[in-house]
A = this chain, B = another copy of it.
């Protein structure tokens, strides 16, 4: 069986609270993380919440990166979903963990689209 996608789910705790509420900084590091992974960015959308918190997505040709932040708890949920062998999601993960100043984190990787097929996973 082959998987069509790799889905990396990060739980980032003890992050810098100022950083977690800074939309422009978060957007810049998400785009930089996509580039670091070798992904092709197709678009992005970020939203600032009141009184605090940011949600943002970067759509890449190889799927997506997502972030939701709760500055009040120093917590961020980050997902990196990629297809194909050309991208290295772990590089994006390492950058985001570092840039958010996470004191602790956990990461799990799920295989998505486990199908009984021979496929070209170039997309």
Instruction: Please give the residue numbers on chain A whose beta carbons come within 8 Å of chain B beta carbons, in ascending order.
Output: 4-5, 7, 9, 11, 13, 42-43, 45, 47, 49, 53, 55, 57, 59, 61, 63-64, 66, 68, 70, 72-73, 75, 77, 79, 81, 83, 110, 112-115, 117, 119, 123
Contacts and interface: CB of A to CB of B under 8 A. Distances in A.
Nearest to A50: B123
A45 B68 contact: no
A62 B117 CA distance: 36
Copy number in this complex?
Answer: 2
Contacts of A112: 9, 11, 68, 77
B77 A68 contact: no
A9 B53 CA distance: 23
